[in-house]
Amino acid sequence: PENITTIDLTAFVSYNGENVAASKITNLTYNSLINADAEGMETGDNKLAKIFPNLVSVSIGENVEKVPSYLFFGTYDEGPYVANINTVTFNGNAVDVIGTFAFFESEMCSLINLNAVTIETSAFAYNSRIVTVTFNDRVETIGQTAFYECGQLTVVNIGDSVKTIGNMAFSKYENLQTVTFEQNENAGSGASVQSVTGLTSIEHLAFNGCTSLREIEIPESVSSVGDGIFYGCTGLTSIV
């Protein structure tokens, strides 16, 4: 109903902490009506992942400005909660922040229209089934360890709005073969890896351990490069 303004997550949990009904929900749209910080939810709890353990599809609503930290955290003290998410879709351009550990180890397969301005620490780390990640033109900061050890990732497309790639953001990708820096509309064409005018900083160990990476062109806009950004990239034959 239109007159409902807030739904606390505790609405899906019984008095004894069980969530029998919620365990049958497989598709969820997360929007501003859902209060992930409701009284009775533990700080740092894995929240939606714990309450809805069998999610297959998650849609982030057009009015969501921040995806809270730990919201879909896939592992907790008692073991994994989310292991079946196939797709996370971001709708609209309202999201400013994806919080720390928001989708940590949630085993998702696909990210669609990833549009947050800031992706915080380990937001998508240890998602072993992601194959491709494309950042749209709102993303400015990819935080440290943001996509750490996403083992199946083979392609990363970094848009021209990205300014900072944080420490170990894409570390430990044994299957990563291609890193594409999206060409700005005013840049030249023809290069296999194009320039990005917005990217200024690639921080420590950003691509550490990407053993399948063969070549990469660092955009001319980059003015700061951290230590060991290609440490352990044993297959790398060309850096421009």
What pLDDT does residue 42 have?
A: 46
- Both tokens assigned to 91: 């709708």
Give the residues of the chain that fall short of pLDDT 70.
1-22, 32-50, 75-84, 183-197
What pLDDT does residue 38 have?
A: 41
Contact at 8 Å (CB) between 216 and 194? no
**Helix%, strand%, coil% for the chain, nearest 5:** 5, 20, 70
Can you tell me whether residue 87 is helix, strand or coil? strand
Pairwise CA distance, residues 56 & 60, whole Å: 13
What pLDDT does residue 5 have?
A: 56
What pLDDT does residue 43 have?
A: 44
What pLDDT does residue 94 have?
A: 80
Pairwise CA distance, residues 36 & 28, whole Å: 14
Can you tell me whether residue 117 is helix, strand or coil? coil
